[in-house]
Structure 1
Amino acid sequence: MGVSGQIRVVVAKPGLDGHDRGAKVIARALRDAGMEVIYTGLHQTPEQIVDTAIQEDADAIGLSILSGAHNTLFAKVLELLRAREADDIKVFGGGIIPEDDITPLKDQGVAEI
């Protein structure tokens, strides 16, 4: 994780959701706040997202999920990060995520929703 310099964030759209306007708005806001952003584009698998984060020496991964698959997708990304000994990379996200799911996601290791 590259904490000594500029914060590096991978912003990703996992799964089959084809709407990326929100992810692009977040990516722009993070850039405007001085962070380096790597936007992976649409239809990324958890494996692709984790691979990118590790290759790019990211400090965080931001997931934008509108499809309702947030519980599965966040869990898989966190599992892969642990398996690759990269669980120091923070995971956060947003999208259409019911309020009742926020605490369980945080309990699994999601930094913020």
Structure 2
Amino acid sequence: MKKKEIRPKRSTRKDLQYQHLAAQSANRAPVVVYLSNGTRLQGIVLATDNYMVLLGRRLDDPQPTIVYKQAICLVTPLDTPVVGIDPAIAAEFVPIYIPRTRKGR
């Protein structure tokens, strides 16, 4: 009889993402959200679910912004600079957004 191999549960990417966004939501610290199309949003993470992040300018913001998690590339605290981007070059750099096309199946 073959012995069944037991593996420890690995933390998935979604679990790590959930923990990070939950910590940002609990801290109520200002964050910078970089989107895949090059947009940079600043605000406070008010709430999250499986698909979206609610981002507001203040805790009592009457019109917060809903951002799809699929569009988010990076979430950093407001006071943390992004390493690897020269500020002089970043001011002139305009990213080109090329939408993905669906391939025929």
TM superposition score category, shorter chain reference: under 0.3
Q: Normalising to structure 2: TM-score of the pair?
A: 0.24
Give the number of the structure whose alpha-carbon radius of gyration is greater: 2
Higher normalized contact order (CA 8 Å, seq sep 6+, divided by chain length): 1
Whichever structure has more helix as a proportion of its residues is 1
Whichever structure has more strand as a proportion of its residues is 2
Q: Normalising to structure 1: TM-score of the pair?
A: 0.23
